[in-house]
Structure 1
Amino acid sequence: MSNEYQNILVAIDLSEDSRQVLERAQEIAARNRQAKVSVVHTLEPLGFAYGGDIPMDLTSIQEQLDEHAHKRMAELLKDFDIPEENQHVLVGMPDSETHRLAEENKVDLIVVGSHGRHGLQLLLGSVSSGVLHGAPCDVLAVRVGKDDN
C-alpha cells in the first residue's frame, strides 16, 4: 500500500481562513505527485435551520444562498488550479455530505480548518469534529485563525 495521497477533498466554510486550508491541501498535493484536489462547501438547508417553524416557501432564499456560495467559492479558488468539476457546493449536513462525497469519489484525505478552541473542541470546531468522526479516510485539521490566548 502506498503512503501517498491521490485524491484530496478540502472542506471549506468560504471564510478568509479557507485560503490557508486550501494552501495546505495544495502543498500536500504537490508532495504527492500532484494528487487530485477537490473542494466542498455545504449549506445547511434553511428548513432544517429553522426547524420547519416558518410557514413560507424558502426555496428562493435557498437558491440565493446557493448562488452566493458558488460566487464566493469562485473568488476563493481563482488563485488555485482546481477545475470547476472538482468544486462542489452541496445542501445538507456538512459532516454527512463531506463523508458521502469522499466515499463516492474514493478520497483518501479530507482537509478541514480548525480554530483551536478550548475544552471539548480544543482542536476542532463542531463541523470539523463531525467530519473527523466517521470519515472514510484520513483527516487533516489545519489550524486557522488567531489564538484565543
Structure 2
Amino acid sequence: MIIAGGGPIMSKTEGYQRIVVAVAIEVAAHPALRRAVNVAERTNGSVTMVHALKPSPLSPDTARAAVVERTRSELEALQAGQPRIRGLRLVDDRPWTALVDIADETDADLVVIGSFVHGQLRALLGTNSDRVLHQARRDILVVRSDAYNDAHPPRDYTHIVAATDLTDHGRAAVERAAGLADAFRARLTLLNVMAHFPEDRENETTITPENLDPQQFQQDLRTEALARLAVGLRHPDLARQVAITTESVAHGVADHAREVRADLIVIGSRGSYGLNRLLGDTADEIMHRVPCDLLIVRG
C-alpha cells in the first residue's frame, strides 16, 4: 500500500555524531576507515576504530602478546594525524560480533563495516546472527571495499539514491538520505522500484479504473507519492524515479545505481534490527548487487 504522505519531513542535519568502524588490518587502503572519517568530517562526528584479532587458542601467551602489541601499533599508526578518530578498541577475546557490544557501549549512531568484514560476519554467525546481534539497533554503512584503493580512496559522496517502498516506516531512511545529501552537498534522487507488476495483487485502495492500464496507473500513483515526499523534504524539485523491473527489487535498485552512477544507496530496515535482518533478505541482495556503498537505516 502506498501511504507516503505530504507532511513536512525534518532532515537529520545533525548527522552522525558517534561512529564505530570495523578496521580489517589485512585490507589494503582501509576503505571502511577512510569512509568513516569522511562521514565524520562532514557530519561533525567522531570515530572509534575496532579490530578483532583472529582467535588462536594454541598460541603461547608470549606469542599472542606480541601479536596484540604489533596490531595495536598498526592501529595507532592509522589513527595518527586523524583528529576525528578519538577511540581505539582492540578485541582479543571475542570475534567481530564484539562490534555490536562496542557500538552499544559508545552509544554509536552509525556502524561502518567493509564488505570484507561483512563476509566474515556471515561466515562466522550463519543463521545464529540474528540471535547474537539482535541488539544492533544502529544504522549500518556497508562500504564496497573493492571499489576503492590508494589511488581512488573514498571521497565525498556526489550522488545519493534513497530507495523507498513508500510506506511510513521507510521515511526515516529518506530523512537520513536528505540530511547526508545536505552534509555532502550531493545530488539526491528518490527511487521506487516496481517489480513483477502484480495485476492480481492490487489492494482495495488502489484498484485500477477499468479504462486505465494497471501498470501505468500504479506507476502514476508511485510518482505522485514520490512528489509528496519531495515536498515534505522541502525540495519539491528533487529528482524522482519510478523504475520498473521484471526481476527483483534488488536488481532494480542495482541497475538504477549503475545507470545514474550513484556512490551511495540508502534503504530502510524493517522489524527486528539484528544484523542478519539488516543485511539479510532484500538488503543483503542489494548489497551484493550495487556497485557502491550501502547505508541501511533503522526505522
Give the TM bin, normalised by the shorter chain. 0.7 to 0.9
Does the CA contact (< 8 Å) of 1:111 and 1:141 recur in 2?
A: yes
Asked if residue 83 in structure 1 is aligned to residue 237 in structure 2, the reply is yes
The one of the two structures with greater contact order (alpha-carbon pairs below 8 A, sep at least 6) is 1
Which of 153, 178, 187 aligns to 1:36? It is 187
Q: What is the letter of the counterpart of residue 83 of structure 1? A: D
The CA deviation at 1:130 is 2.0
Does the CA contact (< 8 Å) of 1:116 and 1:123 recur in 2?
A: no
Moved more, 116-125 or 10-19: 116-125
Q: Give runs of aligned pairs for residues 103-118 of structure 1, distance below 5 A.
A: 103-117=258-272
CA distance in 2, matches of 1:117, 1:141: 13
Q: Give runs of aligned pairs for residues 51-70 of structure 1, distance below 5 A.
A: 60-70=213-223
CA distance in 2, matches of 1:132, 1:116: 19
Deviations 1:48-77 (A, max 9, x none): 988xxxxxxxx8211221111112212222
CA distance in 2, matches of 1:119, 1:22: 21
The CA deviation at 1:87 is 0.4
Asked if residue 132 in structure 1 is aligned to residue 287 in structure 2, the reply is yes
CA distance in 2, matches of 1:118, 1:76: 25
Unaligned runs of at least 5 residues, structure 1: 51-58, 145-149
CA distance in 1, matches of 2:274, 2:288: 17
Deviations 1:98-149 (A, max 9, x none): 11111121111000001153778422463322211221000000011xxxxx
**Pair member with larger Rg:** 2
TM-score by length of 1: 0.77
Asked if residue 45 in structure 1 is aligned to residue 196 in structure 2, the reply is yes
Cα RMSD (Å) = 2.6
The CA deviation at 1:26 is 1.3
Unaligned runs of at least 5 residues, structure 2: 1-152, 202-211
Q: Percent identity?
A: 27
Deviations 1:25-58 (A, max 9, x none): 11111221x11111110112336988xxxxxxxx
Which of 149, 165, 168 aligns to 1:13? It is 165
The 3-state SS of whatever aligns with 1:3 is coil
